Structure 1
Amino acid sequence: MEGRDRGTEQWAARAVGGRLMIAAGVLVSGITALSDLRHESFEPTTRLLNYVLSALAVLFGLLLLRSPGRVPYWLINVLPSISAIMVCIPTAVDKSPSPLGPLLLTWPVTFAAAVLSARTAWITMGVVASAFAVLASVSRGVDGVVLWVEVCASLTVICWMVTRLQAQSNRLRTMLANLARTDELTELINRRGFDESLAREHSRHVRGGPPMGLLLIDIDHFKRVNDSWGHQAGDQALRQLGALLSEMFRTMDVVGRIGGEEFGVLIPDCAPGQAARRAQELCDAVRTRTRDWPHPITVSVGVATSQDTKASPDELFALADAGLYAAKAMGRDRVGTVATPSR
C-alpha cells in the first residue's frame, strides 16, 4: 500500500480501528437509549437496527483489540467499508432525518484516508456513496436522494483533504528518512544506512541466500592531505573517491561513507575470491585514476565474506576491519583478506 508499511496497518486495524468500532457502537446505542428516555425514539426498525449494529460493532472492535495474531491484510482494507455500510443502513431507513448517521460516516472515511492508503480511502468513499444511494432512494425516495447528495459532497471534500495531507506527510517522512541515511558531503549512504543494508543482506543470507562480500576502504595518510592542502582539499578528495566508488560498483551493491576517510561497499551474491578481486581492482583503479587529481591518493581495503550463516553483521564488520588493519600493516595501498572462520 502506498505510503504505509505492514506494521502501520496492524497498528491502524488494532489501536485505531478497534477503538473506533467500539466508540461508534457505544455512541449509537447511547443516543438511541437517550432518545427513548426523552420520548423522541427513532422509528421501530431504525431503533432495532441501531442496537443490533451497535452490539456487532462493539464485539468486532473488542475482537480486533484482543486478537492474539496478526490481523489479515484483506480485513484491514475492508474494515472502513464494513463500518460505513453498518452506518448507512439505519440512516437510510430512518424516516425522520437525523444528523447522527451522516456524522458517523465521516469516521470510516477519515480513518481510511488518515491511516490507510489513498486507494482504500476512495474505495471506502465509493462504498459509502453506492450503499447510501441504494438504501436512501429505496426507503426515502426524493428526500433520500437529496440527503445522499449532501452527505456524499461533504465526505468527498473530507476524503480529498485528508488524503492530500497524508500524501504530503508521506513525502516529508520519506525525505527526512533519506536525509537521515545520507552523507551530506559525498551523497552516499551514511553509517546508519550502511548498517541497515548489512543487516538486511545478512538476514537474506541466513534464510538460504548466497554469500555476500564486505569491503572496508580507508584513504592512506589522509591526514597529510588535510595538513598539507587544507580541509577543502580533503573534502574534495572524499567527494571524488565517493563518485569513483559509485562508478566502479553495480547498482545492486551498497556504497557508503562509514565515517571520516573510511568507506564501505556491500556486495550481494559474492563469493570470497570474487570479493578479493573486486577489492584489488579498486586499489589499482584508485592508484591509477587519481594521478590526475589535484591531490592523488591511494587506499587500503579490508575484505570479509559471509560464508558462515552464524556470523553476525557485527562479526562480519569486525573481520573486514581486521583485514583493513592487516593491509595497513603490510604497507598500505593493498588488500587484506579475511574469511569468516568455520565453526
Structure 2
Amino acid sequence: MDPLRPKATNGASAHVRGVDYRRRIGGGLMFGAGLLAFTTLFTPHSGKGTDEALAVMGALALLIGVLLVAWPAFAPLWATPLFVGFGTMLITLDIYTGGLQNSLSSDNQVLYLLVVFYSFYFLRGRLAVVQLVLVGGAYGFLLIDAVPVGQAAARWAVMMLTLTVAGLLVGLLNRRVELLLAELTTSARRDPLTGALNRRGLDERLTVEIARAERTTEPLTLVVADLDDLKGLNDRYGHGAGDQALELAAKVMRGGLRETDALARIGGDEFVLILPNCEPEAGLEIAQKVRARLRQLSADELQPLTMSAGAAGAPPLPLEPVELLAAADRALYRSKQEGRDRSSLAEA
C-alpha cells in the first residue's frame, strides 16, 4: 500500500501532484537536516560524545536528500515513513549533541514542526499519527536528560499540544483544498445543467471504455440522441422551458442506464449514451425504451417531448471512438429523415 496520502478518485485532485513531487519535497527537507547536523558540529556545542554519530547520520541525510530530489523512485514507497522517522531521529541527535540548554541547538526544536507538517500533509492519517508519537518520544527523551522532571513535563505538554494542533490544522486545510479541487475537476467534466458528462468527460470516459473493450473483447455500443424540435420549444416558450426539457431528458436517460453506463451531453440538444458490454441491438432497445418513457412523462407538458436516436456498436464496427460516434450520428440523421421520434441502428 502506498503510505503517501492517495490522490482523490475520479481524477478529482492534482493537489499533491504525485509521488515524485512529494518525495522531492521530503528530499529537500532531508538535505536541509543534513546541513543542520554539520552546522552543529562546526559550531561550539556541549560535546556529549555523539559527534561521530551525528556526522554519520548527517552524511546519510545528505545522500538520501540528494537521491530523493534527483531520483525519487530509488527506494520503495513503504520506505517513505522510515525516511520521515530518520529525519526525526537526526533532529533529536542534533539537539542532544548541541545541548538542549544551548541557545543555538535549542532553537532547532522548531524543526519538529516540519516533520509534523510533512507527515500530516503527505502521509496517510495513521502514519502521520505514528510520526507525531515518535516526535513526542524523542522530545521527551531530550527533556528528561536536560531539565528537572516537573519542568520537562510542562515543556513536553506545551510542545506536543502545539505540534498536535498544527498537524490537525494542516491535515484539515489540506483535505479542504483537495475537496475544493475535486469539485473544480468534476465541474470541468460535467455539464452544469444536466449533470451529464460534457465533451471532455465523454472523450476521457470513451477512452477508458474502449481500452476495457479491447482488453476483455466485450462489445461496446454508443447511442447518440437528441430532442426533436428543441429550437421550436425555445422559440415558443423561452429558454427556461428548453432547459427544463433537457433536464427531463437527461433524467429519463440516466434512469434507463446501468451503473457501468455513462451519459454525456455534447451539444445543445445532443446526448451520448456509452454502453459497455452491450450489443448494438440491445443498445437500440435501450434507446427505444428511453424514447417511450420521455414521451410518457412529458405528455402533459406545454409541448410533449420526443427524441430521435442512432445506435452503433463494436463489433461489427471498428473499436474506434471517432468511427463509432460518426456511425451513431449517421444513424441518428436517418431517424430524423424518416420522420423523427424513432431509433435507427448503424449499418456495418
| TM above 0.5 | yes
- What pairs up with 1:136-285 in 2 under 5 angstroms? 137=144, 142=149, 148-208=156-216, 210-285=218-293
Task: Choose 264-273 or 53-62, whichever is displaced more.
Answer: 264-273
Q: CA 1:318–1:309 in 2, change beyond 3 Å: closer, same or farther?
A: closer
Aligned amino acid, residue 26 of structure 2: G
CA contact (8 A) 2:189 2:199 kept: yes
Q: CA 1:68–1:19 in 2, change beyond 3 Å: closer, same or farther?
A: closer
1:85 maps to 89
- Identity over the aligned pairs, expressed in percent? 30
- Aligned to 2:111, the other structure's residue is in SS state helix
Looking at structure 2, the residues matched to 338 and 196 of structure 1 have their Cα atoms a distance apart, in angstroms, of 23
Give the alignment partner of residue 109 of structure 1, picking from 111, 116, 125. Answer: 116
Q: CA 1:96–1:126 in 2, change beyond 3 Å: closer, same or farther?
A: closer
Looking at structure 1, the residues matched to 106 and 316 of structure 2 have their Cα atoms a distance apart, in angstroms, of 66
Looking at structure 1, the residues matched to 317 and 146 of structure 2 have their Cα atoms a distance apart, in angstroms, of 66
CA contact (8 A) 1:87 1:105 kept: yes
Aligned amino acid, residue 201 of structure 2: G
CA contact (8 A) 2:48 2:97 kept: no
Looking at structure 2, the residues matched to 71 and 193 of structure 1 have their Cα atoms a distance apart, in angstroms, of 35
The superposition leaves residues 62-100 of structure 1 with CA deviations (integer Å, 9 ceiling, x where unpaired) of: 222233747633233443233223322343465443224
Looking at structure 1, the residues matched to 61 and 217 of structure 2 have their Cα atoms a distance apart, in angstroms, of 45
1:127 maps to 134
2:76 maps to 72
- Aligned to 2:312, the other structure's residue is in SS state strand
CA contact (8 A) 1:3 1:170 kept: no
CA contact (8 A) 1:302 1:338 kept: yes
- What pairs up with 1:4-83 in 2 under 5 angstroms? 4=7, 8-33=17-42, 35=43, 40-67=44-71, 69=73, 72-83=76-87
- Aligned to 1:265, the other structure's residue is in SS state strand
Offset at 1:57? 0.9
CA contact (8 A) 2:34 2:58 kept: yes
The superposition leaves residues 214-271 of structure 1 with CA deviations (integer Å, 9 ceiling, x where unpaired) of: 2111112221112222222211211111221122222332123222111122222222
- Aligned to 2:219, the other structure's residue is in SS state coil
Aligned amino acid, residue 103 of structure 1: V
Offset at 1:145? 5.1
The superposition leaves residues 93-116 of structure 1 with CA deviations (integer Å, 9 ceiling, x where unpaired) of: 654432244122222211122334
CA contact (8 A) 1:275 1:303 kept: yes
Q: CA 1:138–1:206 in 2, change beyond 3 Å: closer, same or farther?
A: farther
The superposition leaves residues 106-133 of structure 1 with CA deviations (integer Å, 9 ceiling, x where unpaired) of: 2221112233444433232122223443
Offset at 1:144? 5.7
Looking at structure 1, the residues matched to 50 and 152 of structure 2 have their Cα atoms a distance apart, in angstroms, of 15
Aligned amino acid, residue 164 of structure 1: L
- Aligned to 1:267, the other structure's residue is in SS state strand
Task: Choose 125-134 or 217-226, whichever is displaced more.
Answer: 125-134
Looking at structure 2, the residues matched to 106 and 68 of structure 1 have their Cα atoms a distance apart, in angstroms, of 23
Looking at structure 2, the residues matched to 70 and 279 of structure 1 have their Cα atoms a distance apart, in angstroms, of 53
Looking at structure 2, the residues matched to 68 and 315 of structure 1 have their Cα atoms a distance apart, in angstroms, of 41
Q: CA 1:11–1:314 in 2, change beyond 3 Å: closer, same or farther?
A: farther
Offset at 1:61? 1.5
Q: CA 1:209–1:141 in 2, change beyond 3 Å: closer, same or farther?
A: farther
Offset at 1:315? 3.4
Structure 1 spans left out of the alignment, 5+ residues: none
- Aligned to 1:188, the other structure's residue is in SS state coil
Aligned amino acid, residue 10 of structure 1: V
Q: CA 1:150–1:227 in 2, change beyond 3 Å: closer, same or farther?
A: closer
Structure 2 spans left out of the alignment, 5+ residues: 9-13
Offset at 1:60? 0.8
The superposition leaves residues 126-151 of structure 1 with CA deviations (integer Å, 9 ceiling, x where unpaired) of: 22223443565468773765554343
